[in-house]
Chains A and B, each alone.
Chain A
Amino acid sequence: MNQTFDLHRFTLVLKLHLSEHLKSYLLGLGVLAGVWLMMLLPDATRISVFNESIYRKHGIFFAFIFCGAGAWFASEAFRMVSTPVRGIPYLALPASQLEKFLSVFLMVLLFIPVFIGIFYAIEGITFWLINDRLPVGSPHYELLDLRGKYLEKDLRYLAYLVPPFFMVGSIYFPKIPFIKTGVIAFLIFFITSLFLNEFILRRIFPHREHYGVTLFQEVSFIENRRMYLVTLAGAPRLIINSILVLVVPALWYIAYVRFREKEL
Chain B
Amino acid sequence: MINIKNLTFGYSPKKTMFRNLNLSLPAGNIYGLLGKNGAGKSSLLRLMGGMLYPIAGTVEVAGHTPRKREPAFLQEMYFIPEEIYLPTVSLNRYIDTMGPFYPKFNESQFRKYLTEFDVPADQKLTAMSYGQKKKVIISFGLATNTRVLIMDEPTNGLDIPSKSQFRKVVASALASDRLMLISTHQVRDLDNLIDGVIIIDESEILMNHSLTDISDRLMFNTLSQVTESDRVLYAEPSLRGYSVIQENREQEDSRVDLERLFNAVVTNREGIKNLFH
Residues of A within 8 A of B (CB): 1, 3, 6, 9, 12, 15-16, 19-20, 23, 84-89, 91-97, 261, 263-264
Query: Is B273 interfacial (CB-CB < 8 Å)?
Result: no
Select from chain A the residue with minimum beta-carbon distance to B49.
Answer: A92
Q: Name the segment of B65-73, B116-124, B256-264 touching the other chain.
A: B65-73
- The answer for the CA separation of A21 and B77 in the assembled complex, in Å, is 25
Contact B102 A88 (CB under 8 A): no
A163 to chain B, nearest CB (A): 25
B35 at the interface (CB under 8 A from A): no
- A264/B102 contact (C-beta < 8 A), A89-B81, A91-B69 known: no
Per-residue interface assignment for chain B, residues 79 to 103, with 1 indicating a CB less than 8 Å from any chain A CB and 0 otherwise: 1010111011100010011101110
Q: Cα distance A263–B9 when bound, in Å?
A: 12
Contacts of A12 in B (CB 8 A): 97, 100-101
| Whole-angstrom CA separation of A85 from B42 in the bound complex | 13
* Residue in chain A with minimal CB distance to B46: A264
Q: Are B87 and A94 in contact (CB under 8 A)?
A: no
Distance between Cα atoms of A89 and B79 in the complex (Å): 7
A93, B70: Cβ atoms closer than 8 Å: no
Q: Is the CB of B81 within 8 A of A85?
A: yes
B158 interface residue per 8 A CB criterion: no
Q: Which residues of B contact A263 (CB under 8 A)?
A: 51-53
- Pair B79/A88 contact, Cβ less than 8 Å: yes
Cα distance A87–B52 in the bound complex, in angstroms: 12
Residues of B within 8 A of A95 (CB): 71, 74, 101
Q: How far is the CB of A226 from chain B (nearest CB, A)?
A: 59
Q: A residues within 8 A CB of B88?
A: 20, 23
A3 partner residues in chain B, CB cutoff 8 A: 68, 70-72
Which residues of A have CB within 8 Å of B85? 85-86, 89
- Within 8 Å CB of B100, what residues of A? 12
Residues in chain B within 8 A of chain A (CB atoms) = 46, 49-53, 68-72, 74-75, 77-79, 81, 83-85, 87-89, 93, 96-98, 100-102
B79 contacts which chain A residues (CB < 8 A)?
88-89, 92
* B84/A85 in contact, CB under 8 A: yes
Q: How far is the CA of A23 from the CA of B87 in the complex (A)?
A: 12
The A interface, classified by DSSP as helix, strand, loop or mixed, is helix
**How far is A97 from B49 in the complex, measured between Cα atoms in Å?**
14
A-B contact pairs, 14 of them (CB 8 A): A1-B71, A3-B68, A3-B72, A6-B71, A9-B71, A12-B101, A15-B97, A19-B93, A23-B88, A89-B85, A92-B51, A92-B77, A94-B102, A263-B51
A60 to chain B, nearest CB (A): 38
**A109 → chain B, closest Cβ, in Å?**
22
Which residues on A sit within 8 Å (CB–CB) of B93? 19
Q: Which of A16, A20, A96, A264 contacts B70 (CB 8 A)?
A: A96
Contacts of B69 in A (CB 8 A): 91, 96-97
A residues less than 8 Å from B52 (CB atoms): 263-264
**Nearest chain A CB to B261's CB is how many angstroms away?**
29
Q: Which residue of B lies closest to A95 (CB)?
A: B71
- A58 CA / B194 CA spacing, docked (Å): 68
**Interchain nearest-CB distance for A113 vs B (Å):** 25
Which chain B residue lies CB-closest to A100?
B69
Q: Which residues of A contact B78 (CB under 8 A)?
A: 92
Closest 10 A/B residue pairs (Cβ): A94-B74, A94-B75, A20-B87, A3-B70, A88-B81, A94-B101, A85-B83, A16-B97, A92-B79, A264-B51
Residues of A within 8 A of B98 (CB): 16
CA gap between A235 and B96 in the complex, in Å: 56
Once A84-B83, A85-B83, A264-B52 are accepted as A-B contacts, the answer to whether A19 and B89 lie under 8 Å apart by CB is yes
Q: Smallest Cβ distance from A207 to chain B, in angstroms?
A: 54
Chain B residues whose CB sits within 8 angstroms of the CB of A23 once the complex forms: 88
CA distance A9 to B50 in the complex (A): 19
Partner of B89, one of A20, A85, A96, A97: A20
